[in-house]
Amino acid sequence: MVSADEQHGHSPFPDLYGPGIRLRMWDADSAADVATWRRGLTDPEFRRWNTPLRLVEDLADARESLRTKVLAAAEGSAASYCVTDAASGAALGHIGVNAINRVLSVARVGYWVLPEARGQGIATRALAVASHWALTELGLHRLELDHALGHEASCRIAERCGFRYEGTLRGAMFEAGRHDAFRDMHLHGRLATDPEREPEIAWDRASGGSGTSGTSGTSDVSGTS
């Protein structure tokens, strides 16, 4: 049973900070947050690489989707962060530590960045901050990150942040709106016992990488972590 306080977004997770960014919990009661969430999940580049289990089309969909994230945070099963500019507070994207399993000491990580914030190393910084927190303060042993085969930008972000490539998951996700079109995924993992590394923040603009996301194909967020 979820309490009334939990329904209104009281989260056990702290705000997190990194170079130029602040990670805070999403607020399903904030019109600005709901609009940002919808914009992120309806972005064509996001949908190109992710498997929505349910599509977010309008603001009502986005609000309901965010509410599931708020409840998961209140229950301690997932930490969904809005990535913001530390100075202005402007929303830049999303990062989530999802499917937190305290018994197995493992969770899954996913992220996306708004179009206007891409090319600035936002995803790399957010992933570095969230991963360090999850493997230290949260006390997890293992984090997993997967992305669609061919999403080279997400692959580079994972590797910059110490997520080692561990193999290919065959037919593990389908294209947005195409349950009959399966695609393979790359699996990356990082352990608490892996050497700590400072990620290279510089973005390879020439690569054309979007920095959109690296998310689980079984995500419940209509397309993301």
Alpha-carbon distance 154 to 82, whole Å? 18
Alpha-carbon distance 52 to 68, whole Å? 15
Rounded to the nearest integer, the mean pLDDT of the chain is: 85
4-207 folds as: Aminopeptidase (3.40.630)
pLDDT tens-digit profile of 53-70?
A: 677 889 999 999 999 999
Specify whether the CB–CB gap between 76 and 138 falls below 8 A. Answer: no
Q: Burial of 44 by CB count in 10 Å (0-12 exposed, 13-18 middle, 19+ buried)?
A: exposed
pLDDT tens-digit profile of 168-204?
A: 999 998 876 677 788 899 999 999 999 887 765 543 3
* Predicted model pTM: 0.85
> Cβ–Cβ contacts within 10 Å for residue 195, how many?
6
Tokens of 156: 């580079």
168: enclosing H helix or E strand? strand 164-175
What value does the mean pLDDT take over residues 120-129? 96
Q: What is the chain's length?
A: 225
The ranges assigned to domains in the chain are 4-207
